[in-house]
Structure 1
Amino acid sequence: MPIHDLPHEARIAASLDVRAEEPAGEPGHRPPTVPGSSPRPAGPPAPTTNVGVDRMRVIGDGFRFVTAWSLRVIIVAAALWLLWWVLEKVWFGVLPILLALIVATVLAPVVQLGRRIGLPSSLSTILTLLLSLALLAGVVAGLVPSIAGQSQQIFDQAGEGVGQVRSWISGPPLNLDDAQVDEYLTSAVSWIQERSSDAAGAVASGLGAVGSALVTLALMLVLLFFFLKDGPKFLPWVRRTTGRTVGRHLTEALTRMWSTLGGFIRTQAIVSAVDAVLIGIGLLVLQVPLALTLAVLTFLGGFIPIVGAVVAGGIAVLVALVTQGVTSALIVLVIVLAVQQIEGNVLQPMLQGRSMQMHPGIVLLAVAGGSTLFGIIGAFLAVPFAATFVVGLRYLSEQVDLRSGDVSAAETPFATPEGYVAGAQAEHAAAAARETEQAAMAAAQHGSVASAAPPRPGFLAWLCGRH
């Protein structure tokens, strides 16, 4: 019988027998002899526990998986770095857009109310902006006389407060004498004088910042007008530009982000207003100077969660300490802490839904990162940005659940009809994938699929996960 008609094991044995019978003197017909070995080892191979798929194949597939995801992470990180670099270059133009979007979420319901009562879109937008500016001007006009009239009183009482602090320092437990206190004060004055040039430079840069802020404010007002006037036309334009599939996803995701951002800003405004009223009443009862100004500062600080409330409360306590002494400062501190406890345990849980809340650690990290990178504006924008980012992650997770078949479109709360259609398509794709997988498994069990390993994908297909 020819060798090629024999079984696999018999062909191996026959080839070994043939090689054993070849002439020893003809080079190239036999492999080099290994010392201590025979041409045909006696006995069967040693038993192995690896009776299934070769272990190295499994390990290699694992390394391929890790390598593919590592490359994807590197590519995503590079794209984010490039986006960040571009954002830094165009930040002066991006900032008015972000501020206009945040203000638009607050004023959009007022513009919609004007449309519902029959006003043209342009007229409703103009009236809303004029009323908002008039309200802001009224608040400023009401605070300026108070600040101008009570500033001198604070400066006069600050000298008495410094004397009280000096008396406290000279007593126990510090027990510093007047000479040591004077030495420390002299050192502080010298330190300030040495940096007077830096202060002058800071003033000059501050004037430049004021000019930049005025330009940013003007751009923000112009953009705000167009956002409020033409806002309802934006999502239809997105769907026309990107196509039906991407347009549906963008419509749903952007609608959720807009609703979350608007709800967050309005809720923070209500919470901050309650804090400002309660703390302002306490300051008025104690007759602390600049009580109304401190109340407005508390309201503005409320838009920077955690950090803003602490800073505004600290300023109120400091003013009370300088003007009225330790007892009044302690009472103000108790009022501030009580109001913050009411805010954290009653107001925010009642006004904000669970879907809008974030862990305090995330809030602190967002505020710290935003303030480090972009100052006060960054601290103000950090939490709204984090809230919209979380909404985007939740939408992606929801789409993964629909694609995997873990949830159905009927169980998912969608914000738009376009989102429901996109969810139904994802659910249909999950059902089709399950049917294909079940058919392949059934075919493999019946032996209708070839046992040969599938061909390896190309590099781009492997990197994109298509294998």
Structure 2
Amino acid sequence: MSDIQPRRSYVPPAVRATSEWSWRLLLIVAGVLAAAVALQTVSEIVVPLAIAVLLAAMLAPITQRLARVMPAGAAAGLTVLGTILLVSGLFTLVGTQFSNGFSDLTTQVATGIEQVRDWVRTTFRITDSQFDAYFDQIKDSVGKSGNLGDTATAVGLTATHFVAGIFIALFSLFFFLYDGPHIWGWVTGLFPRAARARVASSGAIAWEQLSAFVRATIIVALVDAVGIASGAAILKVPFAFAIGVLVFILAFIPIVGALLSGSVAVLLALVAHGPGVALIMLAVVVGVQQLEAHVLQPFLLGRAVSVHPLAVILAIAAGSILAGIVGALTAVPLAAVVNAVGKHLFAGESKGEIEQELEENADKDPLARR
């Protein structure tokens, strides 16, 4: 018999390393996709919980101050009740402004559309017959958009889910404010004993990051809302207060929210007063947003919750695909939290450093321990 052994095929080290990384990355992507599908399946629960966490980060300081003079349960309940009354009052004011100004708006819109039509016709040389053809195409597209009965059924289901989500969010908010430390302690206890210290410290960092983001965003949103609404009121743009409320809400979606709210303000100025006032309104919106981008955001957020603009855009896109407008609202704070916790976990801290950090953050963290 021959002593010659068959030679094994040689795999270059680069190819071997690439293949090992490839299957690991495929497993990670599969896990992320499976988690996304699972979360989307129970989105009626996950979305209200996410909103409740954001509201808890916003309202926790108020609850803590009230808890100094009353029981914790009463402080949490009063905070939730005050939030409900504030939001209801804002929407009532917006509805009142719409109902009072709708008749005047119709006249202004008719005049503004004529001005816009004349401006477009003289600038782009579009005839009235072309305008009529475009409008007919739009009406045909709307008419072919779907069955009215199916649309009504879908709207009914969405309204039911919306009401149920509000109740879930409010109940969750109350218990997060009232019993947050025990809830977080129970979650930490689900992990192996050796990992609990790192999980607890990661939770403290995540909560601190989320609280800082929410506080800074509230201040930025208020400045944007007051600035743009004041400009709209001076220019006599319809629904100035409603514009301010919309600006405040959409300010929680960085980049995209400012674009959407500013577009609404400029569009209302255009249809109500024509291109000249719309250009002035556009200048006001751009000026306020430049103040936000170059002064408020760097000063209030700084490096504490810094996320690259590309990561912001990708997070908003992914959040809007998975959960619509709510996903876009929660995407950026989630990205900031993941960024901070990831840096913490990969920092290689020792167990003693983790425990020391947890003790330092315990007083700031309503979800750690009292």
2:168 is the alignment partner of 1:219 = yes
1:105 shift after superposition = 0.7
Which one of 23, 30, 39 corresponds to residue 87 of structure 1? 39
**Secondary structure, counterpart of 1:342 in structure 2:** helix
TM-score normalised by L of structure 1: 0.70
1:281 shift after superposition = 1.1
Determine if contact 1:256/1:415 at 8 Å carries over to the other structure.
no
2:48 is the alignment partner of 1:99 = no
**Secondary structure, counterpart of 1:350 in structure 2:** helix
1:130 shift after superposition = 1.3
- Deviations 1:235-279 (Å, cap 9, x if unpaired)? 443454435421100111011111111111121111000010111
Q: Aligned partners of 2:251 and 2:230: how far apart in 1?
A: 17
Which residue of structure 2 lines up, in the alignment, with residue 77 of structure 1?
Answer: 29
2:359 is the alignment partner of 1:417 = yes
Which residue of structure 2 lines up, in the alignment, with residue 180 of structure 1?
Answer: 130
Determine if contact 1:253/1:392 at 8 Å carries over to the other structure.
yes
Determine if contact 1:252/1:418 at 8 Å carries over to the other structure.
no
Q: Among all aligned residue pairs of Structure 1 and Structure 2, give the percentage whose two residues are the same amino acid.
A: 32
2:107 is the alignment partner of 1:156 = yes
Which residue of structure 2 lines up, in the alignment, with residue 124 of structure 1?
Answer: 75
For the structure 1 residues 187 and 255, does the alpha-carbon distance in structure 2 shift closer, same or farther, using more than 3 Å as the test? Answer: same
For the structure 1 residues 278 and 99, does the alpha-carbon distance in structure 2 shift closer, same or farther, using more than 3 Å as the test? Answer: same
TM-score normalised by L of structure 2: 0.88
For the structure 1 residues 325 and 66, does the alpha-carbon distance in structure 2 shift closer, same or farther, using more than 3 Å as the test? Answer: closer
Q: Aligned partners of 1:189 and 1:245: how far apart in 2?
A: 64
Letter in 1 for 2:94: L
Q: Aligned partners of 2:291 and 2:246: how far apart in 1?
A: 19
Determine if contact 1:238/1:247 at 8 Å carries over to the other structure.
no
**Secondary structure, counterpart of 2:238 in structure 1:** coil
1:378 shift after superposition = 1.4
- Deviations 1:185-221 (Å, cap 9, x if unpaired)? 33333333343x4466434422321221000000111
Q: Aligned partners of 2:279 and 2:24: how far apart in 1?
A: 56
1:31 shift after superposition = 8.9
Q: Aligned partners of 1:220 and 1:80: how far apart in 2?
A: 25
Determine if contact 2:201/2:355 at 8 Å carries over to the other structure.
no
Which residue of structure 1 lines up, in the alignment, with residue 299 of structure 2?
Answer: 350
1:298 shift after superposition = 0.5
- Deviations 1:293-348 (Å, cap 9, x if unpaired)? 10111101101111011110110001011111111111110000000000000001
Q: Which runs of 5+ in 2 are unaligned?
A: 363-370
- Match runs of 1:255-404 below 5 Å: 255-399=204-348, 402=349
- Deviations 1:339-367 (Å, cap 9, x if unpaired)? 00000000011111303011111111111
Mean Cα deviation higher: 107-116 or 253-262: 107-116
Determine if contact 2:40/2:322 at 8 Å carries over to the other structure.
no
Which residue of structure 2 lines up, in the alignment, with residue 191 of structure 1?
Answer: 141
Which residue of structure 2 lines up, in the alignment, with residue 458 of structure 1?
Answer: none
- Deviations 1:58-108 (Å, cap 9, x if unpaired)? x66665544443333333333323322322222222222111111111111
Mean Cα deviation higher: 372-381 or 341-350: 372-381
Q: Aligned partners of 2:3 and 2:336: how far apart in 1?
A: 71
Letter in 2 for 1:76: I
Q: Aligned partners of 1:85 and 1:142: how far apart in 2?
A: 39
Determine if contact 1:146/1:290 at 8 Å carries over to the other structure.
yes
Q: Aligned partners of 1:350 and 1:281: how far apart in 2?
A: 23
Q: Aligned partners of 2:308 and 2:300: how far apart in 1?
A: 16
For the structure 1 residues 294 and 413, does the alpha-carbon distance in structure 2 shift closer, same or farther, using more than 3 Å as the test? Answer: farther
Q: Which has the larger radius of gyration?
A: 1
Which residue of structure 1 lines up, in the alignment, with residue 93 of structure 2?
Answer: 142
For the structure 1 residues 246 and 214, does the alpha-carbon distance in structure 2 shift closer, same or farther, using more than 3 Å as the test? Answer: same
1:419 shift after superposition = 9.2
Q: Which runs of 5+ in 1 are unaligned?
A: 1-27, 33-55, 421-467
Letter in 2 for 1:417: E
**Secondary structure, counterpart of 2:253 in structure 1:** coil
Determine if contact 1:252/1:414 at 8 Å carries over to the other structure.
no
**Secondary structure, counterpart of 2:126 in structure 1:** coil
Determine if contact 1:298/1:312 at 8 Å carries over to the other structure.
yes
Q: Aligned partners of 2:148 and 2:257: how far apart in 1?
A: 25
Letter in 1 for 2:342: L
Aligned length: 358
For the structure 1 residues 332 and 68, does the alpha-carbon distance in structure 2 shift closer, same or farther, using more than 3 Å as the test? Answer: same
Q: Aligned partners of 1:176 and 1:241: how far apart in 2?
A: 67
